[in-house]
């Protein structure tokens, strides 16, 4: 049994929260820069130039790329041969508290969805844990902005709706969102499971690098087809028209019930942030 | 070509700004998001005075990150505007002439803009670090307890925005997309 002290978790999360908010992942930068080269619409070119300039300034000055530094999603993949010494939940929240305070990040969490008093330190984190084989601990910190989160949707389709129903739902969700989620967007899709698992898969899909296609060629083809169809909608960067509406479509799937076809679409903006370390 | 606009925007000026025009705003603007709008509109409903003069005011829907030492303000890009749709008609009737945010607006907001003469601008969503450099001075006016959502008075210089919906109801989100699709 390998021992990891909870304070190591705290320090790692604090550091990742600041880095994730100020430095855009390389794959996302590459997608935006490629999109700029292939964008034929002049207004859209101008917007993409400003987006590129913005993440350059953020990285150079260690300031947040976007003022919505998000609710802090923390994914822990805990090896079953690891023992974390201390309170995991408290250690994670302390990491968020420290990162968001020391990094001058915005505190955007209210303690209660109806009474709405800000917690003042961006806690609690949205914590997702998974038990995996081995003696490693993988930590991913993903600040999630709510402009795009609010445009996310879930549908419990019928098996007879099939693949065409799934495609139509995803396209409708992106089209209805229009300019609101700050396009160009990254589209996370979860198919299958249960009501809640579909949503979780969609969120997890956003953690995957945009360089990586689904391991199953059937779903990899579906990702490519949906990206092409979304970029034919004409919404464009910021919704002012253009080719670049989405930078990637990532799909995750799992088995489901004979009676169901759950599909969830979790939208992320061009400031798709996540950073991972393995301890 | 960008149009330079010196704030405040009068009702008359608002009617001259057209959908699709790129503008650079200079002067004083105020910030307010969901929670501040709720409080401001409660005051208006009760017939009480607002903590700042909303006549010819431009409101920026933004909740900035905290300023680092030496900074005027942290990252300061727009938030999604539709959440203010419930409040904007009342704010426009009270004197507001400009709104800066991003994303769609309701038919009720557009009707109020047409009736009174007001304009809706979008700043680039997710470009908070870039937009922050146009803010030269920032001070809290009221609702400090709301943190990032407090109302701030900002002095801006050449803040880049695009007029999305003008006082005639023309909408760049529709016309821009259609023009692109027609060009293919």
**pLDDT truncated to tens, each residue of chain A (279 aa)?**
899 999 999 999 999 999 999 999 999 999 999 999 999 999 999 999 999 999 999 999 999 999 999 999 999 999 999 999 999 999 999 999 999 999 999 999 999 999 999 999 999 999 999 999 999 999 999 999 999 999 999 999 999 999 999 999 999 999 999 999 999 999 999 999 999 999 999 999 999 999 999 999 999 999 999 999 999 999 999 999 999 999 999 999 999 999 999 999 999 999 999 999 999
Indicate the CATH number for domain B3-183.
3.20.130.10
Question: Which of A51, A104, A242 is facing B74, going by the closest CB pair?
Answer: A104
Does ipTM exceed 0.85? yes
| Interface mutation target, options A181, A230, A239, chain B, most CBs of B under 10 Å | A239
Can you give the pLDDT at residue A50? 96
Which residues of B carry out catalysis? 37
CA atoms within 13 A on the CB side of A153: 16
A151, A181 in Cβ contact below 8 A? yes
The vertex-B138 CA angle with A116 and B39, nearest 5°, equals 30
Alpha helical stretches, state H, chain B: 11-14, 34-45, 88-94, 107-116, 128-132, 172-183
Does the structure show a pLDDT above 90 at B1?
no
CA terminus-to-terminus distance, chain B: 24
For residue A171, the distance in angstroms to the closest alpha carbon of chain B comes to: 16
Contacts of A95 (CB under 8 A, 6+ apart): A9, A10, A11, A12, A13, A14, A17, A74, A125
- Chain B residues closer than 8 Å to A243 by CB: 180
Q: Which of residues 217-256 of A touch B (CB under 8 A)?
A: 234-236, 238-243
For residue A276, the distance in angstroms to the closest alpha carbon of chain B comes to: 22
The Cα diameter of chain B in Å comes to 53
Measure Cα distances from B75 to B3, B72, B95, B100 in Å.
Answer: 24, 10, 28, 16
Distance between CA atoms of residues A54 and B77, nearest Å? 11
For residue A177, the distance in angstroms to the closest alpha carbon of chain B comes to: 9
Question: Which of A55, A105, A180 is facing B80, going by the closest CB pair?
Answer: A180
Kindly state the average pLDDT of the residues B147-167.
Answer: 97
| pLDDT tens figures, A190-223 | 999 999 999 999 999 999 999 999 999 999 999 9
CA atoms within 13 A on the CB side of B6: 0
Residue of chain B whose Cα is closest to the Cα of A245: B177
């Amino acid at each position: 049994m390998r021992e990891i002290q909870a304070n190591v978790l705290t320090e790692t999360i604090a550091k990742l929260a600041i880095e994730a908010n100020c430095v855009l992942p390389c794959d996302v930068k590459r997608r935006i820069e490629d999109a700029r080269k292939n964008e034929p619409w002049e207004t859209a070119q101008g917007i993409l130039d400003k987006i590129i300039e913005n993440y350059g300034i953020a990285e150079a000055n260690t300031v947040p790329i976007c003022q919505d530094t998000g609710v802090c999603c923390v994914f822990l993949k805990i090896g079953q041969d690891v023992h974390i010494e201390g309170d995991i939940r408290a250690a994670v929240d302390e990491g968020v508290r420290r990162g968001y305070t020391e990094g001058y990040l915005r505190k955007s969490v209210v303690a209660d969805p109806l009474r709405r008093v800000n917690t003042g330190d961006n806690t609690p984190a949205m914590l997702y844990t998974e038990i995996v084989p081995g003696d490693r601990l993988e930590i991913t910190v993903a600040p999630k902005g709510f402009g795009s989160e609010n445009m996310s949707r879930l549908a419990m389709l019928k098996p007879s709706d099939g693949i065409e129903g799934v495609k139509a739902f995803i396209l409708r969700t992106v089209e209805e969102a229009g300019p609101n989620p700050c396009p160009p967007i990254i589209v996370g899709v979860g198919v299958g499971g249960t009501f809640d698992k579909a949503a979780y898969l969609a969120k997890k899909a956003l953690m995957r690098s945009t360089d990586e296609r689904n391991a199953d060629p059937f779903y990899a083809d579906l990702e490519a087809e949906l990206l092409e169809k979304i970029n034919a909608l004409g919404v464009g960067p910021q919704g002012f028209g253009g080719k670049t509406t989405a930078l990637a479509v990532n799909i995750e799937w799992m088995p489901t019930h004979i009676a169901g076809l759950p599909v969830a679409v979790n939208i992320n903006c061009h400031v798709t942030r996540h950073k991972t370390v393995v301890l | 070509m960008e149009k330079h606009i010196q704030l405040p925007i009068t009702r008359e000026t608002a009617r001259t700004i057209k959908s699709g025009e790129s503008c650079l705003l200079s002067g004083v603007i105020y910030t307010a998001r969901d929670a501040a709008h709720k409080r401001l509109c409660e005051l208006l409903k009760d017939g009480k005075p607002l903590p700042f003069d909303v006549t010819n005011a431009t409101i920026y829907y933004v909740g900035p990150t905290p300023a680092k030492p030496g900074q005027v303000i942290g990252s300061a890009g727009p938030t999604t505007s539709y959440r203010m749709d419930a409040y904007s008609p009342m704010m426009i009737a009270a004197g507001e002439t400009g709104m800066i945010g991003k994303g769609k607006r309701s038919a009720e907001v557009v009707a109020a803009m047409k009736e009174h003469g007001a304009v809706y601008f979008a700043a680039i969503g997710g470009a908070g670090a870039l937009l922050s450099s146009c803010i030269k001075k920032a001070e809290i006016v009221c609702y400090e307890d709301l943190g990032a959502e407090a109302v701030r008075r900002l002095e801006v210089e050449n803040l880049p925005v695009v007029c999305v919906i003008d006082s005639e109801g023309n909408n760049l989100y529709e016309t821009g997309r259609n023009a692109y699709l027609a060009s293919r």
